[in-house]
Structure 1
Amino acid sequence: MLQIQELVFDAWGRRFFDNATVMLPRTAKVGLVGRNGVGKSTLFKLIKGELVLGSGEIKLPREARIGSVDQEHPATPVSLIDTVLAADLERARLLSALDTAAPEAMGDIYARLIEIDADRAPSRAAEILAGLGFSTEDLLRPMAEFSGGWRMRVALAAALFAEPDLLLLDEPTNYLDLEGALWLESRLRAYPHAALIISHDRELLNNSVDHILHLADGKLALYPGGYDAFETQRAEQARVQEAMRARIDAKRAHMQSFVDRFRYKASKATQAQSRLKALAKLPVVGAIEAEHVAPFTLPSPERPLAPPLIRLEGVSVGYGGPPILRGLNLRLDVDDRIGLLGVNGAGKSTFAKMIAEALPLEAGHMHRDRRMRVGWFHQHQIEALDPVDTPLDIIRRAMPEASEAARRSRLAQYGFHREKVETTVSDLSGGERARLLLNLVATDAPHLLILDEPTNHLDIDSRRALLDALNDYAGAVILITHDRSLMELVADRLWLAADGTIKPFDGDLEDYATYVVDRAKARARAPTQVREAPPPPPPASTPPRKAPTGNARRRAEAAEAALGRASERLAAIDAQLSDPAVFTGGPERATVLAKERDQAQAALEAAEAEWLEATEAYEALKA
């Protein structure tokens, strides 16, 4: 599907790609991985033609359609469902053409609409939107009524609905909740064409892709399997390379020792010269350099408080109107690790604000120790950073009494060394900003950490470092994240925000994943007010003219040929099963043939149904 040959690209004073070459298989689902800042999003821009190659080639099949999600959908008066339906450009063009088509052309237009299954388009769009968290009532609302985050979901829905030949997704789960991420995993697995996905979500990379494309040192390397298989293969490559380097270094040392001893002895001079030539031909194998990731610093409280940390009794909370959450009766102990589940808008962030005392109660009581310190991270803190600030400016305000040397030392612990401490926020990557804030919220050794989507900008290695720090941290944690792997490895209890309240969830994340998928299917089956494709054209009042039937006739002929092949296949299997020798030579062959017959019978039934439908359509057009 996609071929990249000897790609070289330089920009912003550095080389992103250095003779990079790779070929992606047709219909492959490929996860593009690499450290923050190596050029993954730059590769997308090169594929789409938004940047000019230095040298090399990027090839796609002729007429291949590329789809991506570059920005949120604009706030227009067009309804949600019509916005997504418009993403199928061919269907939209054909429906528009019906308004002005001559009677003799309408037959071919309707035949093409049938071929692309246009009548199912509204229900297919509604199913995608339901999976991404939209309700049935949302379908007819104008786009202008949705916030920027929800319009990003619309852009993703439109890309999935259009089904381009190559789908490019850059961190698609960053603007999804856990429920949306779980649904997207299953949707990508069934995507009928090729997809290239930049993601640091380990579960998505394990469950939805069949190849990993690794970008490092300006090179691209393709590995079969998901992310776990990629890590195993990389580790084995490193082991083999290190073993080869050790062998060559030992051989080089032995030969150099011989040369040093005998190069000036006449009797050994020839052999010494021979070894010098051999030394020059030995390949240079570099030592494996592990990519270093600075650890997170999450100091534990020195003295634990008496349990419980927090007890809620009949609590309601909101923003002045009807309560967002009500009837909360919950208890949080000193070592609890709570994973907070629920769709966007269910009240998870509202709950976090209330626990952090950034939002007052409207009813009920919250009992808490006055000495309790809370560290609260939420993703909007990253957006609120002053772009002209530097990490040094920020830590000066966080540590006003500390010396300058102590502040710089603390930043070095966070992974910000000399060249980064005075870099402005606008020039820091999203991952660097998140790393700075995550470390800062724990500066005072809090008794409770509230983490609201902490991994959105972190690469996989940084997520692993955060996991290690959380496992070493001795306080309580409330975690809100779409990162299923982090949730599974940190949370030991799950609470579910739904129906205006929060209650303990009886089950694990596997149970919750099943719950989410079943709910999405049920919502997609719910009755909607979605307009269906237009009905067949009324009988023409103009003088009768013969309608073009070429496409319909070809479809009927193709269906008849397919029916013939399916019948022949079934007959051939039945002939083999009628041979007694098949059963006397062992049961394995008979078992295989029986399974093949079941498949052939199903194929025959499908072919018959297609033949009947195609024939009826052809006869209707002729009439």
Structure 2
Amino acid sequence: MIQITDMTFRIAGRSLFDEASATIPDGHKVGLVGRNGTGKSTLLKLLTDEYHPDGGEILVSGGRGVEDPIGMVSQEAPSGPDTPLEVVLRADKERERLLTEAETTDDPMRIAEVQTRLADIGAHAAPARAAAILAGLGFDDAMQAAPMSSFSGGWRMRVALAAVLFAEPEILLLDEPTNHLDLEATVWLEAYLARYPKTLVIVSHDRGLLNKAVDAILHLENLKLTLYQGGYDRFEKTREERLAQIEAQRAKQSAQRKHMEAFIERFRYKASKARQAQSRIKALERMEKLPDAVNEPTTRFSFPNPEELPPPLVTFDNASVGYEPGKTVLKGLGFRIDGDDRIGLLGRNGNGKSTLAKLIAGRLAKFDGDEHRSAKLRVGFFAQHQIEDLDPEATPAEHMARLMPGALPDKVRARLGGVGLVQDKQTTKAKHLSGGEKARLTLALITYDSPHVLILDEPTNHLDIDARDALVQALNDYTGAVILISHDRRLLELTVDRLWLVANGTVKPYEGDLDGYRDWLRQEERAARVAASEDEPDKKNDRKQARQASAEKRRQTADIRKKIREAEKKLEKLTQRKAQLEERLADPKIYEGPTADLKEVILKKEAVDREIESAEAEWLEAESALEEAS
């Protein structure tokens, strides 16, 4: 259990929490959200005693007899000669200690106790469980047996995540766990965390994860903490309703206050009305102080649109590509890209998505085959390493001015403003910018010359939810072609209309949608688990049968999944309609007009509420049917 009571905390003279309170009961899964820089990661450090509050208190307790209930991903990525499997297994401290004791003790009674405890904690099944977690995060058998020193920093951080998941602490704290994952590993993690049997607090800007893996949202805003039940979409709706109600109350209170103040001003010195005036003065003093209005800045992105070029912009025919001669990553590539294409790349990390992106961007040369590019083609390419490659001593204005020599300062500032870098952020050195601000600067740098093709490789890792929504809008307004690699399903769903699957050394169109792809991944995972549980001589045949069964299940559940998607779309439209009606009801002017108009709005809202209830029932019925069929 986590109990935060009137907690105050300041860092470098800046207040992050002011008498904030919240309670997270045992077994609850909570998403911690708030704008960049509000103190979400700081709160995790307060929970682990890395920081200590200036006022109030934080109480953290685990299960009975648990000495150290909190688990968090290590900030130091593991390295050295150990394998990922060995690193993950060592995360269970009790198992490690008991195994060592079992090999060293000579006391028969103690040996019996140790073996009993090892059986109780499932110690002998631990290697299989650790391997399953690593597989879910993208490590095949060969990778699980390779030395940690052979992996990049991103893959080592995946091992650190696997280790804390394997340890299964009473309270699991995760800070942006999907930043080093691809879409496939993110889908696995969503399902894993949704089943996590203990307390979970996760900082994330991934709507999909916050909708599927948690049952409550802890919102950090205005130095306070507010707990909302449900996933992110429900939180967003509930918060909007709450703000609308407060705004309506504020308007009503303001009118009452003006009326009383006018009475007091007019009659406070008139003997016959003095008592009534004093009564109103006391009523004003007792009037409840409503929360301050939230005036958060709106995040906006815009990318300059290119001039139109005749199609196709890029074509490849029977091409292959790699990084060293004789080590081909992708082959048999045949495709074209036109100016209005919106393409999402699917496939596990290591399959070649980034290699394909670099080929299209002209960063890698083909080994063989045919290639054609429009002579005037300009390509904007975003990759994570570019954020780290920024000049730490240069400001965003200086970075942009280097690319736009001779441009007027107003034009430079306008381009930075197009990605939300405004005012003092334009003159702050890059080393003092947040990860999200560096990502915005990189987006500005790659789009300054109005590229015809925009290639984005995981652009949202450091962006908060509002910035991600702004990126969606900017990409939909942009008139050039977009090629997108992202673990953020919502970004893909709202911006691309074609999917390519990068797998088995080549690239092919994927005919389904992202829901179908998610279901296929989960079926493949189940099939792999079934195949792994059988004896070695029968594995090949069992894998074939599992794949056939998986395909048959997908065919049988296609109609159900279609009903689920239709119900979700219907719910989304009804929720938007309800929000519009509630906005009208929150407007004080409607209460000053004809009663018939007010009654009509109320009746419409009641009708929408009934439709939402019916649509939710349809969705739940379809979800239950899909779960039974799976």
Displacement of 1:442 in angstroms is 1.7
Q: What is the one-letter code of the residue matched to 2:336?
A: R
SS in 2 for 1:372: coil
Once the two structures are superposed, residues 556-596 of structure 1 have per-residue CA deviations (whole angstroms, 9 ceiling, x without a partner) of xxxxxxxxxxxxxxxxxxxxxxxxxxxxxxxxxxxxxxxxx
Q: What is the one-letter code of the residue matched to 2:285?
A: A
Matched, 1:175 2:180: yes
Give the aligned partner of residue 559 of structure 1: none
Give the aligned partner of residue 382 of structure 2: 377
Q: Distance in 2 between matches of 1:475 and 1:412?
A: 20
Instruction: Name the CA shift for 1:317/1:200 in 2 (closer, same or farther; >3 Å).
Output: same
SS in 2 for 1:277: helix
- The partner residue of 2:138 within 121, 133, 137 is 133
Q: Distance in 2 between matches of 1:182 and 1:388?
A: 38
Instruction: Name the CA shift for 1:366/1:72 in 2 (closer, same or farther; >3 Å).
Output: farther
Displacement of 1:64 in angstroms is 4.5
Q: What is the one-letter code of the residue matched to 1:27?
A: G
Q: What is the one-letter code of the residue matched to 2:38?
A: V
Give the aligned partner of residue 7 of structure 2: 7
Q: Is the CA contact 2:299–2:466 (under 8 Å) kept in the aligned structure 1?
A: no
Q: Distance in 1 between matches of 2:421 and 2:134?
A: 41
Give the aligned partner of residue 557 of structure 2: none
Structural mapping, 1:555-566, within 5 Å: none
Q: Is the CA contact 1:375–1:449 (under 8 Å) kept in the aligned structure 2?
A: yes
Matched, 1:490 2:511: no
SS in 2 for 1:240: helix
| Bigger radius of gyration among the two | 1
Q: Is the CA contact 1:299–1:443 (under 8 Å) kept in the aligned structure 2?
A: yes
Q: What is the one-letter code of the residue matched to 1:320?
A: E
Q: Distance in 2 between matches of 1:360 and 1:390?
A: 33
- The partner residue of 1:306 within 305, 310, 320 is 310
Tell me the TM-score normalized by structure 1: 0.82
Structural mapping, 1:148-547, within 5 Å: 148-285=153-290, 288-302=293-307, 304-321=308-325, 322-525=327-530
Displacement of 1:277 in angstroms is 2.6
Tell me the TM-score normalized by structure 2: 0.81
Displacement of 1:2 in angstroms is 1.0
Once the two structures are superposed, residues 229-262 of structure 1 have per-residue CA deviations (whole angstroms, 9 ceiling, x without a partner) of 0001100110110011011100011112222322
Q: Is the CA contact 2:456–2:484 (under 8 Å) kept in the aligned structure 1?
A: yes
Q: What is the one-letter code of the residue matched to 1:67?
A: G
Q: Is the CA contact 1:72–1:148 (under 8 Å) kept in the aligned structure 2?
A: no
SS in 2 for 1:474: coil
Displacement of 1:385 in angstroms is 0.8
Q: Is the CA contact 1:32–1:197 (under 8 Å) kept in the aligned structure 2?
A: yes
Q: Distance in 2 between matches of 1:521 and 1:128?
A: 13
Give the aligned partner of residue 23 of structure 2: 23
Displacement of 1:270 in angstroms is 2.7
Instruction: Name the CA shift for 1:286/1:161 in 2 (closer, same or farther; >3 Å).
Output: closer
Q: What is the one-letter code of the residue matched to 1:346?
A: N
Once the two structures are superposed, residues 458-487 of structure 1 have per-residue CA deviations (whole angstroms, 9 ceiling, x without a partner) of 000000001011111111110000001101
Instruction: Name the CA shift for 1:268/1:65 in 2 (closer, same or farther; >3 Å).
Output: closer
Q: Tell me, which stretches of 5 or more residues in structure 2 are unaligned?
A: 535-630
SS in 2 for 1:319: strand
Equivalent pairs, count: 529
Q: Is the CA contact 1:136–1:528 (under 8 Å) kept in the aligned structure 2?
A: no
Q: Is the CA contact 2:416–2:444 (under 8 Å) kept in the aligned structure 1?
A: no
Matched, 1:75 2:79: yes
Displacement of 1:407 in angstroms is 2.2
Displacement of 1:528 in angstroms is 9.9
Displacement of 1:275 in angstroms is 2.0
Q: Distance in 1 between matches of 2:127 and 2:510?
A: 34
Displacement of 1:333 in angstroms is 1.9
Once the two structures are superposed, residues 57-109 of structure 1 have per-residue CA deviations (whole angstroms, 9 ceiling, x without a partner) of 21122624211113253212222212111111111111100111222321111
Q: What is the one-letter code of the residue matched to 2:19?
A: N
RMSD: 1.8
Q: Distance in 2 between matches of 1:286 and 1:134?
A: 49
Give the aligned partner of residue 92 of structure 1: 96
Q: Distance in 2 between matches of 1:393 and 1:524?
A: 54
SS in 2 for 1:305: coil
Q: Distance in 2 between matches of 1:86 and 1:287?
A: 50
Q: Tell me, which stretches of 5 or more residues in structure 1 are unaligned?
A: 530-623
Instruction: Name the CA shift for 1:387/1:528 in 2 (closer, same or farther; >3 Å).
Output: farther
Q: Larger deviation: 190-199 or 431-440?
A: 431-440
Once the two structures are superposed, residues 30-54 of structure 1 have per-residue CA deviations (whole angstroms, 9 ceiling, x without a partner) of 1110000111111111111111221
Once the two structures are superposed, residues 333-383 of structure 1 have per-residue CA deviations (whole angstroms, 9 ceiling, x without a partner) of 221100001111111111111111111111111222111221111111101
Q: Is the CA contact 2:418–2:444 (under 8 Å) kept in the aligned structure 1?
A: no
Q: What is the one-letter code of the residue matched to 1:70?
A: S
Percentage of pairs with the same residue: 53
SS in 2 for 1:274: helix
Q: Distance in 2 between matches of 1:298 and 1:407?
A: 14
Q: Is the CA contact 2:346–2:485 (under 8 Å) kept in the aligned structure 1?
A: yes
Q: Distance in 1 between matches of 2:420 and 2:140?
A: 43
Q: Distance in 2 between matches of 1:401 and 1:362?
A: 39
Displacement of 1:417 in angstroms is 3.0
Q: Is the CA contact 1:80–1:139 (under 8 Å) kept in the aligned structure 2?
A: yes
Q: Distance in 1 between matches of 2:328 and 2:40?
A: 43
SS in 1 for 2:162: helix
Q: Is the CA contact 1:297–1:439 (under 8 Å) kept in the aligned structure 2?
A: no
Structural mapping, 1:581-620, within 5 Å: none
